Structure 1
């Protein structure tokens, strides 16, 4: 038996192929494609009972119906987030949907701090200058993190790992979440209302999932309430931030730095080479012009440790499906109520 994996990066390909080839009890091969799952590419999956999708795959109603018509019965998504999947339609079609509910939180937490420190210490600008043998320090003045206040929005596993690093810097810790993390409390975190966190934090980092309640959590009002010299970091989901509102604030000269590893309209852009074509996204193009903004291409999770865990969990999800087992990774089980 062979499964089809969409949106496989070059670094991921050998890890995925080895994982399936080395699982002798499973006896399942894996064909990998670098193209992403969209309405245009979904017909490629015809004849494959199991497909694996990447974080930016389009698994809306139209794609799911195309997959089901082609014989696909199981989707193994290689990410924790699943806001791109129409679970109701998957349930209606009787498709099994599984995700990776856990992988190394340190990969994302460490990268979030990489973004924060890069914009704080003007690393990109400094590297560009020294490459041209310009060794001036003008415009490169940063700030110590010790003694400053960090606001952690979402204190789950990744937020906790981010907080541990902040604690190591000697920062004052503020948190906001629907539930308190006892580890963060033990580290000295004070949980406050969201508005207070925005108003007093020197660094604000987002670590909540994207859902209707968190869409544009960072809207125009939230941005205006932040310090003029705050640093904002988003390594979670692009839809948490109203990017147009952010651009408006940046035009006013606000924020010491903004680090974004995600963007709300990243599908069809991130993970692809767009260097030889005109950029049609005016908001993203404008965002790139600000010297205090650093945008990366959804790579926070991209370490050999995290990707290895994602691949292992994906293999396990396929094995569980074929064995008729259900794990905590399953979002829609086979034969769920409402299936036709």
Structure 2
């Protein structure tokens, strides 16, 4: 049997290394492209059987049609979310779409907790002060996390991992999810309505997928019912938040702290070095001006363990599709 030819897009050096170091990589022919997959670059797939894509690669109907014409049979996502894929189009075209449904969920949960702790105790500001010989504590006042009400929106693998971490801090945890995780209720977490969670909690962390129902989940209306000075954390998908509404919330002090590892228009910015350029995104630049906003560049997944798991599961998806031995729970479209 010939080896499947795989075209990997948005390939960073760490992606390439984690894939090539995995034994299953010997069962594919891997070609890597640093560029994103979009309408300008789809022609690079002419010799590929499989496209390996990441979170900001474009996989709309037009691109999927191009892939089909060029002989691609499988889109292998090396991420959990698939909101960037037109799954209806993939199904119509007979293209398989696989993903990595769970990879080291603790990695993202720990990053969410790091954003919470950093924003609260202002350790990033304290670090800079001390390096400059400034030991003044004014402006660094935080709050005790123990006993605070924390809302976790979405209790899949990552949300559940965060609940377990927060339980150790003695937080009062509210959860919202269509499906109740009984193991989490045993730890003391309480499932409630979204409105109750939004109105009651001091800290709200988003861990739900992006779809038509969750798009701009955080908007002017949902912000209005939150506590004044609420802490909002998003390590899931940028589109969950209406950025303009959040900026307004920051200006009116409705939002007291904002921690983002994702951004609605991140595809133009994240995963690349723009330090010698003038960033053209005025909305992002406005966010950066707030002293109580902390933004990281979609690095929540970025641990050695997670990269190893992502490479292993993605490669297994590719090889299993090629050999006809498919793990159904990893395929969101299986013609």
**TM-score, normalising length: structure 1:** 0.94
**Post-superposition offset of 1:277:** 2.2
2:246 corresponds to which residue? 246
Deviations 1:162-192 (A, max 9, x none): 0111110011111111121111100111222
**Post-superposition offset of 1:214:** 0.7
Structure 1 contact 120–256 (Cα < 8 Å) conserved: no
2:6 corresponds to which residue? 3
Distance 2:7 2:210 in 1: 27
Distance 1:129 1:61 in 2: 51
Distance 2:149 2:244 in 1: 26
1:315 corresponds to which residue? 315
**Post-superposition offset of 1:200:** 1.5
Indicate the larger mover: 277-286 or 109-118: 277-286
Deviations 1:214-234 (A, max 9, x none): 111111111122122221100
Which runs of 5 or more structure 1 residues have no equivalent in the other structure? none
* Aligned-partner SS, 1:174: strand
Say whether residues 1:76 and 2:66 are aligned partners: no
**Post-superposition offset of 1:127:** 2.1
**Post-superposition offset of 1:160:** 1.1
**Post-superposition offset of 1:276:** 2.2
Structure 2 contact 234–262 (Cα < 8 Å) conserved: yes
Deviations 1:88-145 (A, max 9, x none): 2212222111111121110111110001111111122222222333222111100110
Deviations 1:244-283 (A, max 9, x none): 0000010113333110101111112111122222222221
Query: Paired residues, what number?
Result: 331
Distance 1:317 1:284 in 2: 36
* Aligned-partner SS, 1:83: coil
* Aligned-partner SS, 1:232: strand
Structure 1 contact 119–256 (Cα < 8 Å) conserved: no
Structure 1 contact 122–140 (Cα < 8 Å) conserved: yes
Distance 2:326 2:293 in 1: 43
Distance 2:255 2:331 in 1: 41
Structure 2 contact 112–234 (Cα < 8 Å) conserved: yes
Which runs of 5 or more structure 2 residues have no equivalent in the other structure? none
* Aligned-partner SS, 2:268: coil
Distance 2:156 2:75 in 1: 26
Distance 1:176 1:210 in 2: 15
2:44 corresponds to which residue? 44
Distance 2:130 2:63 in 1: 48
Distance 2:194 2:91 in 1: 35
Cα RMSD after superposing both structures = 1.4
1:185 corresponds to which residue? 185
Distance 2:186 2:294 in 1: 32
1:274 corresponds to which residue? 274
**Post-superposition offset of 1:43:** 1.0
* Aligned-partner SS, 1:316: helix
1:331 corresponds to which residue? 332
Structure 2 contact 246–255 (Cα < 8 Å) conserved: no
* Aligned-partner SS, 2:82: coil
**Post-superposition offset of 1:331:** 1.7
**For the structure 1 residues 37 and 129, does the alpha-carbon distance in structure 2 shift closer, same or farther, using more than 3 Å as the test?**
same
Indicate the larger mover: 275-284 or 227-236: 275-284
**Post-superposition offset of 1:243:** 0.8
